[in-house]
Amino acid sequence: MNEVPNEEAAMTDTALSFVHRFEPGTDAGARPLLLLHGTGGDESDLIQLGRMIAPGTALLSPRGKVLEGGAPRFFRRLREGVFDEEDVRFRAAELADFVGEARAAYGIAAPIAVGFSNGANIAAATLLTHPEVLAGAVLLRAMVPLADPPAADLRGKGVLLLSGAVDPIVPEENAARLVAQLTAAGARLDHRTLPVGHGLSQADLNLARQWLAASQPLAA
């Protein structure tokens, strides 16, 4: 990743409940982004991606609190693809509280989550368990975080879900179940399956940029 143009404007902070980075926006009419890294990432991991897909937007990027072999994550898993769902619910509530803290501290609106892999999964869990916290989400390689989520009202919230056709981690049927959960909750879902694996591609960036440009503006 490139260096932050203004280190004081996007510095690591420990004052709130998550270690995080915050970069103020220059476009007052754009929704802030909540950037949620994948396993092994940190609060700096998606900053450059956020700048690429939403120039001028405020960026809030926390570091996951769970360590797996020293690698930060947002919740525990029992093994690949099998999640500790009690911890998922606890960590989603913890993240929701952090978003509230950050909104008060930085004076920002409800953010759109942009999550990759483990970050996309905690974003989906937060949408389904605390729907009031997020304005929408871009879920990159997400899978079902909760087998039986609570009833949620996601009417009016847009969600872009980008899956990989040859993703070795997220089976097609799993992505389909997440689509069903989000649709049943009323989300305006745009699901695309790209000819890629679990890693991100230029197509992901282009689609996320286009979707955010159409979905971000704050209500008058």
The whole-chain average pLDDT of the chain stands at 92
Answer yes or no: 198 catalytic. yes
Catalytic residue among 42, 87, 198, 201: 198
21 and 32 Cβ atoms separated by less than 8 Å = no
Asked if residue 107 has pLDDT above 70, the reply is: yes
On whether residue 116 sits in a domain, the answer given is yes
Distance of alpha carbon 199 from alpha carbon 203, whole angstroms: 11
On whether residue 53 sits in a domain, the answer given is yes
pLDDT per position as a tens digit, 151-186: 999 998 999 999 999 999 999 999 999 999 999 999
Catalytic residue among 45, 130, 163, 167: 167
pLDDT per position as a tens digit, 144-154: 999 999 999 99
On whether residue 161 sits in a domain, the answer given is yes
Non-local (6+) Cβ contacts of 84 within 8 A are: 75, 76, 77, 78
Q: What sections of 57-150 are H helices per DSSP?
A: 85-106, 118-129
User: Rounded to a whole number, what is the distance in angstroms from the first to the last CA of the chain?
Assistant: 35
Write the DSSP assignment of 82-101 as a string of letters.
Answer: EE-HHHHHHHHHHHHHHHHH
On whether residue 1 sits in a domain, the answer given is no
Answer yes or no: 61 catalytic. no
CATH value at residue 105: 3.40.50.1820
Residue 115's φ and ψ, nearest 5 degrees, are -125, 145
Domain with 136, as residue range(s), is 7-215
Answer yes or no: 130 catalytic. no
On whether residue 220 sits in a domain, the answer given is no
Catalytic residue among 117, 130, 204, 215: 117
On whether residue 2 sits in a domain, the answer given is no
Beta bridge partners of 136: 112, 158
Q: How many domains does the chain have?
A: 1
Beta bridge partners of 23: 59
Total-model pTM: 0.92
On whether residue 182 sits in a domain, the answer given is yes
Q: What is the amino acid identity at position 162?
A: L
User: If pLDDT is split at 50, 70 and 90, which confidence band does 83 have?
Assistant: very high
On whether residue 209 sits in a domain, the answer given is yes
Least confident of 2-16, 82-96, 102-116, 131-145: 2-16
